[in-house]
Amino acid sequence: MKFVAPELSHTKKVRVVHLADHTGRLQVIFPEDSMLDLAAIARLTKRRFEPIANYNTAGDPLLATSNCPSIIESNLLKESFLQIRSNADGQYQQLSTDDVMQRFSGPLCRFENISIHTDDIQQPSDDYLSDEQQMLNSLGQFQSIRLKQRLEETLEIPPLPAISNQIIRLSSNESSGMDELCDVISLDPSLAAQVVSWAASPYYGAKGGIESVKDAIIRVLGYDMVMNLALGLSMGNAFSEPEEGPRHYEDFWLSSVSHAALMEALVTIVPVSHRPSSGHAYLTGLLHNFGFLAISTMMPPHFSILSRYQEANAHLSSDIVEMQILRFTKEQLGSWLLKQWDIPENICLAVRYSKTPSYQGEYANLANLLYIAHQLNSQTRVNESVLSRMGISLEQAEACYSKVQQSSAELYKMVALINGKKS
């Protein structure tokens, strides 16, 4: 097939991803500032391809087009030059449009529209008060009355465990104290054992044995920390981890515990004048990704599709992919769900705006701190204006991250403790 190059513009980096089905492999090439559209691939090939690599932010190696069918984004022909890597860890090689047309001119190559520029993907609502309507509208697009009813009537949302309700009521009672908290936690022996084991873990370095929840409060964790830890752990029992999630996704509780530990470290370096509550910071870290479980529980078929898109587009932030596939983010759904469960508003808003560095609304300090924790854990750039608003430096934040990472073995043990109690 002969191609006529359109008007040329500038240089663009491209990404290579390998897909496969039961009959063979397909190589796709598209711009790094775009999202691969698996639905477009299915329409063009009449086949259901899935990514081969579980997780590859840099992209897959470039295969010889004489050996592997390839589909290249046609809009790339509008660029003056392309930058492409033969190997994901290699250097970019610059090609002119003529070079591209020559290299991909074989019988196994075709140029098609297979990607969506991120600028063309809808953004989440700026106002969390409109999240519910946005989600209802989005679910309506799936033409599933049952799904819409799930959100609208909240009848099939997992109920908040009874122990969690009791802890929430206790936290709102200013006259409650350590004895009342110990009594509530003790109603769930499994939860009590988790709290005790948590305090006894080498991560906290407590000397001597921790024999009871009261010991955990007095000697190691403190009242607020135990309150919020117990709440986060008990809430996790409302969900089971999904089987159709992204294959690269780390253990849900590992992500939760890692964020919580980092939030616990970060809050200590924030100036006292606008430092969030340590307990709430820890709980926010534990709950930051509850929307992930909510999507898997409330929308299993769409969650499976979303997971495959996230694997194919590992170079993009998850909220970008979620907006294209679901028309809302897991942060929106997670925040909404936490609000239904009467979790404190500052935690709900922190989860909601954890990927919005420009957020400066109510409870912005907790939201901004969670944003910093997320960027550090995902090893992506931290917006300097957020650091400035929080009164901390990048060096301080990275030092906290390094300190937590040095204890990663202990965090894995704490996660194993949680998973052991849930199984």
3-state helix, strand, coil in the chain (%, to 5): 55, 10, 35
Cβ contact 287:348 at 8 Å? no
Nearest to 196 by CA among 165, 229, 169, 170: 229
Per-residue pLDDT of the chain (423 residues; tens, 9 = 90+): 444 444 444 789 999 999 999 999 999 999 999 999 999 999 999 999 999 876 677 888 888 888 899 999 999 998 889 999 887 777 888 989 888 888 888 899 999 999 999 999 998 888 888 888 888 778 765 545 554 455 545 334 556 677 888 888 887 677 788 888 888 888 888 788 888 888 888 888 777 778 888 888 888 888 888 888 888 887 777 666 666 666 555 577 888 889 999 999 999 999 999 899 888 898 899 889 888 888 887 777 888 899 899 999 999 999 999 999 999 999 999 998 888 888 889 999 999 999 999 999 989 999 999 999 999 998 899 999 999 999 999 999 999 999 999 988 888 887 877 766 554
CATH superfamily, domain 128-156+239-422, is Hypothetical protein af1432 (1.10.3210.10)
**Domain definitions of the chain by residue range:** 11-120, 128-156+239-422
Which phi and psi angles does 405 have, rounded to 5°? -65, -35
Single pTM value for the model: 0.82
* pLDDT reported for residue 115: 97
CATH topology of domain 11-120: YbaK protein (3.90.960)
Cβ contact 147:297 at 8 Å? no
* pLDDT reported for residue 5: 44
* pLDDT reported for residue 113: 97
CB atoms within 10 A of CB 42: 13
* pLDDT reported for residue 249: 54
* pLDDT reported for residue 240: 66
3-state secondary structure (DSSP) of residue 100: helix
- Between the alpha carbon of residue 416 and those of residues 264, 286, 361, 410, the distances in Å are 20, 15, 37, 10
3-state secondary structure (DSSP) of residue 244: coil
